[in-house]
A = this chain, B = another copy of it.
Amino acid sequence: MDGAVTAAGGDFDAWMHDALRDVEQALSRWVPADAPAGLGAAMRYAVLDGGKRLRPLLVLAASEAVGGRPAAALRAAAAVELIHAYSLVHDDMPCMDNDVLRRGKPTVHVQFGQAQAMLAGDAMQALAFEVLTPDDDADLPPVLQARLCGLLARAAGHAGMAGGQAIDLANTGRALDPDALREMHRRKTGALLQGSVLMGAACGTTTPAAWAALADYGAAVGLAFQVVDDILDVTQPSATLGKTAGKDEQAHKPTYVSVLGLDAARAQAAALREQALAALERSGLAAGRLRALAHRVVDRVH
Residues in A lying within 8 Å of B, measured CB to CB: 32, 35-40, 43, 86-87, 90, 93, 95-96, 113-116, 118-119, 121-123, 125-130, 132-133, 135, 142-143, 145-147, 149-150, 152-154, 156-160, 162-167, 169-171, 187
CA distance in complex: A165, B171 (Å): 33
Stoichiometry, as copies per complex, reads 2
Q: How distant is A151 from chain B, measured CB to nearest CB, in Å?
A: 9
Interface centre among A129, A154, A164 (most CB of B within 10 A): A129
Q: Which of B37, B118, B187 contacts A93 (CB 8 A)?
A: B118
CA distance in complex: A154, B127 (Å): 8
Residues of A contacting B: mostly: helix
Pair B162/A133 contact, Cβ less than 8 Å:
no
Q: How distant is A154 from chain B, measured CB to nearest CB, in Å?
A: 6
Pair A123/B36 contact, Cβ less than 8 Å:
no
Q: How distant is A188 from chain B, measured CB to nearest CB, in Å?
A: 10
List 12 A-B pairs, Cβ < 8 Å. A37-B163, A37-B166, A37-B167, A86-B122, A90-B118, A93-B95, A95-B114, A122-B162, A123-B162, A126-B153, A129-B129, A132-B149
Pair B126/A156 contact, Cβ less than 8 Å:
yes
CA distance in complex: A178, B35 (Å): 21
B contact residues around A166 at 8 Å (CB): 35-39, 116, 119, 123
CA distance in complex: A158, B116 (Å): 12
B contact residues around A147 at 8 Å (CB): 133, 142
B contact residues around A90 at 8 Å (CB): 118-119, 122
Pair B39/A163 contact, Cβ less than 8 Å:
yes
Q: Which of B118, B145, B162 contacts A150 (CB 8 A)?
A: B145
B contact residues around A171 at 8 Å (CB): 37
Pair B153/A123 contact, Cβ less than 8 Å:
no
Pair B36/A127 contact, Cβ less than 8 Å:
no
B contact residues around A162 at 8 Å (CB): 39, 119, 122-123, 126
Interface centre among A38, A128, A157 (most CB of B within 10 A): A157
Q: How distant is A128 from chain B, measured CB to nearest CB, in Å?
A: 8
CA distance in complex: A159, B37 (Å): 11
Pair B149/A145 contact, Cβ less than 8 Å:
yes
